[in-house]
Amino acid sequence: MTFKKKMLCIGAGYVGGPTMAMIAHKCPQYKVTVVDINPKRIAQWNSGELPIYEPGLDEIVKATRGVNLFFSTEIEKEIRECHIIFVSVNTPTKTFGAGAGMAADLQYWEKTARQILRNAESDKIIVEKSTLPVKTALAMERILTSGNNNIHFDVLSNPEFLAEGTAIKDLKDPDRVLIGSRRSPEGLRARDELVEIYANWVPSDRILTSNIWSCELSKLVSNAFLAQKISSINAISALCEKADADVTEVSRAVGMDNRLGSRFLNASVGFGGSCFKKDILNLVYLCQYYGLNEVADYWKAVVSINDYQKERFVLNMMNAMFNTLAGKRICLFGFAFKANTGDTRESPAIFISKRLLEERAQLIITDPKALDNAKFDLEGLEGAISYIEDPYEAATGCDAIAVMTEWDVYPKLDFKKIYDSMTKPAFVFDGRNILPHKRLFETGFNVFPVGKPPMTHF
Ligand code: UDX
Ligand code: UDX
């Protein structure tokens, strides 16, 4: 079969895999190939067990794989053959040198740009999918134009707004698709080519085009605003606990103001995920670079409140459990950074686990999808840790349950059965406010939600 276009994605991760699967699904006329430097990842994408768990992804991949969606390790060959190249390699926070702990580490990006330059034999459109510091496209252009061949590259920014756990829904029915380009005739032509791809399923009024720097910045700012909303309600949750107010009632009242909106106002043990902290720190670094220290401090506070919220959760546990956790068995309900994903990157559960181990507690971790990642995250830590998939078995003999992830199976459990199997007094610390608190209290538990008065039997 001959395809109308051939496109490539470099980086078969949480973003690259689902995004390209959706393009292949919606555009049977295009051939879509995804490559990665990690052959194991590619083998998983080609197997019956995909490397990431995402509701609805399996069906789409199964329907398109081998038809117009291909996973391969032949990066150089595919660069030669494809006209449009999406780049979705990871850009972690730098751990060394200038900007360590804040700026993005762009080494994979630069390596990828050079690889494209070395292998391209015809003009290409390069699409930035990874979230990047503003003006990365410029750096990319400079690398690509450093060759002395006559090949022309257009660099576009097309940030991804998918959230894990709802990636397929977000891709199928996005709030908006953002495409940033140069204003030159070539830049606009390249932009129109990308618009044409999305127009296969996204209504035209939801495809926004902008200048390339606004586009890169919009992604950082979107994530910073979302995280800021969570840190705001989490800050208020601390006040609610002191002032006998209920944070759920406060967020309901606040969120019904249409100007504010009700989403992202769930107080929690803290936000996690690969993007929020990284993107805010990127924004902070950018502001500092331009000497905007007040602006940098403002955004930095969003991360500080998140750290405070996680530490506060541990201190609340300690305080409730008679000021010592040493030797106590604590069962973590959930380890993923949010429900419906096995991803644990920056999950608050990692911090909480480390702190509980420091306090010499024993950890029993249960999660429907994230136990393998949890084992990897906690590898080498000193202390007693067990991993048990069945929540009933995990809670047996424990002093406390601490909810880390809002998996919908948890509120449906038989808490009478769980209570009977636990050491008394039994505690529940609900870091997601998802359990039926009153019912738990009546069963005998001492219940400590986030941002609400505790319910105790003593
Ligand atoms: C990544 C970035 O972390 C994020 O900032 C961006 O918005 C989208 O891309 P994600 O897809 O979640 O997010 O990352 P990850 O799952 O780690 O996937 C990146 C993939 O790129 C990995 O499979 C890695 O092996 C691959 N990679 C990395 C390459 O193929 N080439 C490289 O040079 C480096
Ligand atoms: C985020 C953005 O939402 C997405 O647009 C972007 O492309 C990538 O980063 P993601 O990190 O996958 O997506 O998940 P998200 O739903 O934003 O949740 C992030 C964290 O915030 C999770 O730990 C979640 O549990 C937490 N959260 C979310 C809260 O604590 N309270 C809320 O009200 C909402």
Whether residue 12 is annotated as binding a ligand: the answer is yes
Question: Which pLDDT score, from 0 to 100, does residue 96 have?
Answer: 87
CA–CA dist 9, 75 (Å, integer) = 9
Which of 268, 430, 433 maximizes ligand 2 atoms within 8 Å of its Cβ, making it the mutation to test the pocket? 268
SS3 299: helix
Q: Where are the domains of the chain?
A: 5-202, 212-458
Among candidates 108, 37, 38, 30, which has minimal Cα distance to 70? Answer: 30
Looking up tokens 């980086």 gives 11
Q: CB of 450 closer than 6 A to ligand 2?
A: no
Q: What is the pLDDT of residue 136?
A: 79
Q: Tell the residue nearest (CA) to atom 16 of ligand 2.
A: 163
**What integer pLDDT is reported at residue 455 of this predicted model?**
97
Catalytic residue among 215, 275, 287, 331: 275
Token reading at 333: 């309900």
Q: What is the pLDDT along the chain (458 residues), one digit of tens a residue?
A: 789 999 999 999 999 999 999 999 999 999 999 999 999 999 999 999 999 999 999 999 999 999 999 999 999 999 999 999 999 998 888 888 888 888 778 888 889 999 999 999 999 999 999 877 777 778 888 888 887 778 999 999 999 999 999 999 999 999 999 999 999 999 999 999 999 999 999 999 999 999 999 998 999 999 999 999 999 999 999 999 999 999 999 999 999 999 999 999 999 999 999 999 999 999 999 999 999 999 999 999 999 999 999 999 999 999 999 999 999 999 999 999 999 999 999 999 999 999 999 999 999 999 999 999 999 999 999 889 999 999 999 999 999 999 999 999 999 999 999 999 999 999 999 999 999 999 999 999 999 999 999 999 98
Residue 92 known to bind ligand:
yes
Cβ–Cβ under 8 Å, residues 223 and 435: no
What CATH architecture does domain 212-458 belong to? 3-Layer(aba) Sandwich (3.40)
Which residue has the CA at smallest separation from atom 9 of ligand 2? 275
**Residue 150, pLDDT score:** 85
Ligand 2 centre to CA of 276 (Å) is 7
Tokens of 220: 């950082």
Residue matched to tokens 């500080």: 304
Ligand 2 closest atom vs CA 165? 12
Cα-Cα end-to-end distance for the chain: 73
DSSP classification of residue 402:
E
Chain segment 80-120, per-residue pLDDT in tens: 999 999 999 988 888 888 888 887 788 888 899 999 999 99
Does residue 331 carry a catalytic annotation?
no
276 assigned to a ligand binding site = yes
Q: Please give the Cα distance from 396 to 401 (Å, whole number).
A: 10
The verdict on the CB of residue 269 being under 6 Å from ligand 2 is no
Q: Is 62 in the pocket of ligand 1 (CB under 6 A)?
A: no
Determine the atom of ligand 1 nearest the C-alpha atom of 14: 11
Q: Do domains 5-202 and 212-458 have the same CATH topology?
A: yes
Q: Which atom of ligand 1 is nearest to the CA of 115?
A: 33
List the alpha helices (DSSP H) in 199-347. Answer: 212-243, 247-255, 276-289, 293-320
The reply, when asked if residue 275 is annotated as ligand binding, is yes
Span from the CA of 66 to the centroid of ligand 1 (angstroms): 23
176 alpha-carbon distance from chain centroid: 18
Say if residues 338 and 405 touch (Cβ distance below 8 Å): yes
54 lines ligand 2 (CB under 6 A): no
Q: Cα(269)–Cα(246) distance, rounded to whole angstroms?
A: 16
CA–CA distance, 187 with 168 (Å, rounded to integer): 29
Ligand 2 in contact with 349 (CB < 6 A)?
Answer: no
59 known member of a binding site: no
Ligand 1, atom 4: closest residue by C-alpha: 130
The finding on whether 366 has its CB within 6 A of some atom of ligand 2 is no
- Could you please state the CATH topology (level 3) that the domain comprising 5-202 is classified under: Rossmann fold (3.40.50)
CA dihedral 41, 55, 221, 145 (to 10 degrees): 30
Helix 212-243 to helix 136-144 angle (10° resolution) is 150
**CA 389 – ligand 1 centroid, Å:** 28
Ligand 1 site, residue 25, Cβ cutoff 6 A? no
- C-alpha 337 to ligand 2 mean position (Å): 8
**443 contacts 405 by C-beta, under 8 angstroms:** no
**How many H helices and E strands in the chain?**
17, 14
Q: Is 91 annotated as a binding residue?
A: yes
Question: Under DSSP, is residue 411 helix (H, G, I), strand (E, B) or coil?
Answer: helix
- Cα(365)–Cα(331) distance, integer angstroms: 6
- Contact between 20 and 98 (Cβ < 8 Å): no
